Amino acid sequence: MPNRNATLAILLAAFAALTLPPLAGAQEGTTITREARPFTPVTDEMLRNPDPGDWLMTHRTYDFQAYSPLDQINRDNVDQLQVAWMRAMDEGPQQTQPLVYDGVMYLAHNDDHIQALDATTGDMLWDYRRETPADLRQYVTLGNRTRNLAIYGNHIYHLTADAHLLALDASTGEVAFDTEMADYRDGITHSTGAMIIDGRVLAGRTCSPRSREARCFISAHDSDDGSELWRVYTAAGSDDPGGESWGDLPVSERVHVSPWGAPGSYDPELGLIYWGIAVPLPYPRIVRRGTWDVGDSTPCELYSNSTVALAVGDGAMEWYYQHLPCDDWDQDFVQERTLIDTVIDPDPEAAMWVNPNLPGTAEERQVVVTMGEPGGLFVLDRATGEFLWGHPVPYDSTERFVISDIDPATGQVFINMDLVARELGQQFIICGHNVKGWWSWSYSPLTGMLYVPINRSCLNQTANERSVSGASPRFTQPEPGFEVDGHLTEVRAIDISTGREAWRYTQRAPNAGSTLATAGNVVFHGDLNRRYRAFDAETGDVLWETILGSQITGFPVTYTAGGRQYLTVPVGGASIFQLSNYASELEAPMGSNMIVTFALPEE
């Protein structure tokens, strides 16, 4: 529920405006520079209003719409796309999204390996490889992937596996600075990348479930030297506002609750950053709290599974909204928060929960939109956090859904207590799970539609106190009824103004692929069965399809170089998804990581 308590802003922005010197402990690295191209520094204005041909941040723009205004590739000619170049990548989970600026692609491999490539050929310009501490995996079990880089001034910024902020010279790849942000021996690492906002480097992190030292946080750093400017802890401490929502659970056991997913989107006019926070751990509350009876509604165990709106200047929390109280199943709400300005006029036939103050108003609102791992679409006012409308996408009923109800007048969320484990050894099938994970949706301002990639998958979980996660066995599976020949992937086009579905594409093979919308009225998407497609943004018709070498799990980008539009797709797969667990009759290799780039034939 929204909360604008002034003391909340003061107390939770711990270390606000505090400047800390860089800490020692930088690892050795090796740079190979083949070509140092002239480089024009990237400014705040360029990040706010990027050149249409560049891709300067994750999701391209601060609103996280993952929309490109390029239209050289369009629905009339997309069927002519052909491979322009390919380049192999390092092994490991493939979840990356390149940056492209002035004809140069900046690419993050796993394990702190960064490259600059000619965006027209894939030829290497420079290569930086950082040594990781020999004992890293003793303390850090996560963070063996990088989803995005950041660019600002003359630097490329990277969050390392051992919890450092690394800045590289964008022209040469040489290290500009390497600053420790936290001690990896406390179990703190990164899987998400950095964001640059008003000259600050914003960073979330991943915190080990095995550590009682790892108190997770979001922080801002000086872009010149990496020194910390402010820090906000993502699990409320016992003396913090919201701390009472954890009962008497010690702060040392309020763990995980990390901002591991997409970094925060940003509204420059409001000066607010919108960040999603993950789940508490162990997952079942009976293991975590010693009882299942800890509450059935928000707020509960703040700020888990919440959207937090933070002031960019000092990290003060302006408001929060909790999407799922006292989670029992690891249903992260860490996905992108997409900012949209649109008339809000939800159709009660399409939206299960509608704020009673909305019907008949049809007013333009500034909204923030998100969906969590279990599904569930939330539309909030981004200035205040007011709940506007929601729906349990992809379901039309809450019978098997993790949320039983939402009070539309207040936005208070009620958990489905019928699915909460009340004793150890109890087993449930919870729908959904990984309905939408780290992979991104996209929004087209031309059509007013949100293009949502969906999995019809569920979680099979047994409460088990002997497991670090509190659950074992624990695995994903197809939604009941979809096991044999059900269509496990859906791409839905949803009108954010009304909630109505404009079109839906379905298929058997599951997916972990992001959508990308363009001004050419095309939406791109790929699946775990190696198929990559272009859809008509208005009708959903498949306009083009190709087969790639491995599972498609990275974030696509499109850009121009030398006057030609390119489409780049990272492929390779991610270990969390075993295709055989969903559709045993299908087979596709995982690994063989590669970047594949397409373009129209040259005239």
Q: Give percent above pLDDT 90 in the chain.
A: 88
Q: Omega before 394 cis (within 30°)? A: yes
pLDDT tens digits, 214-269 = 789 999 999 999 999 999 999 999 999 999 999 999 999 999 999 999 999 999 99
| Rounded to 5°, angle at Cα 239 from 236 and 241 | 55
499 falls within a domain = yes
| pLDDT at res. 579 | 85
Q: Give percent above pLDDT 70 in the chain.
A: 95
Average pLDDT over all residues of the chain? 93
Would the pLDDT of 443 be above 70? yes
| pLDDT at res. 575 | 64
Would the pLDDT of 8 be above 70? no
The single-letter DSSP state of residue 186 is G
Is-contact 588 529, C-beta < 8 A? Answer: yes
Alpha-carbon distance of 26 to 34, in angstroms, equals 24
| pLDDT at res. 359 | 75
Q: How many domains are there within the chain? A: 1
For the whole model, what pTM was predicted?
0.95
| pLDDT at res. 213 | 73
Mean pLDDT of 418-440: 95
Q: What are phi and psi of 580, to 5 degrees?
A: -65, -25
280 falls within a domain = yes
Name the H helices within 22-120: 44-48
| pLDDT at res. 19 | 37
| pLDDT at res. 11 | 37
Q: Which of 401, 372, 578, 324 is nearest to 475 (CA)?
A: 578
pLDDT tens digits, 40-57 = 999 999 999 999 999 999
Alpha-carbon distance of 26 to 7, in angstroms, equals 37
480 falls within a domain = yes
Helices (H) then strands (E): counts for the chain: 5, 44
Alpha-carbon distance of 74 to 560, in angstroms, equals 14
Polymer length of the chain: 603
Is-contact 520 75, C-beta < 8 A? Answer: yes
Task: List the CATH number of the domain containing 538.
Answer: 2.140.10.10
Is-contact 535 505, C-beta < 8 A? Answer: yes
Query: Which of 46-55, 64-73, 112-121, 575-584 is predicted least confidently?
Result: 575-584
pLDDT tens digits, 126-154 = 999 999 999 998 998 777 788 999 999 99
166 falls within a domain = yes
| pLDDT at res. 448 | 98
Residues 6 or more apart whose CB falls under 8 angstroms from that of 45 comprise: none
Residues 6 or more apart whose CB falls under 8 angstroms from that of 434 comprise: 373, 455, 457, 476, 512, 576, 577
Mean pLDDT of 292-317: 98
Please return the burial class of 459, using the count of CB atoms within 10 Å of its CB with bins 0-12, 13-18 and 19+. buried
Question: 518: domain range?
Answer: 6-599
Q: Which helix (H) or strand (E) holds 191?
A: none
Please return the burial class of 477, using the count of CB atoms within 10 Å of its CB with bins 0-12, 13-18 and 19+. middle
Q: How many CB atoms lie within 10 A of CB 541?
A: 12
pLDDT tens digits, 312-348 = 999 999 999 999 999 999 999 999 999 999 999 999 9
Q: What are phi and psi of 48, to 5 degrees?
A: -75, -35
Mean pLDDT of 170-190: 95
Would the pLDDT of 293 be above 80? yes
pLDDT band at 25, cuts 50/70/90? low
Query: Is residue 9 classed as helix, strand or coil in its secondary structure?
Result: helix
| pLDDT at res. 17 | 35
1 falls within a domain = no
Alpha-carbon distance of 360 to 452, in angstroms, equals 27
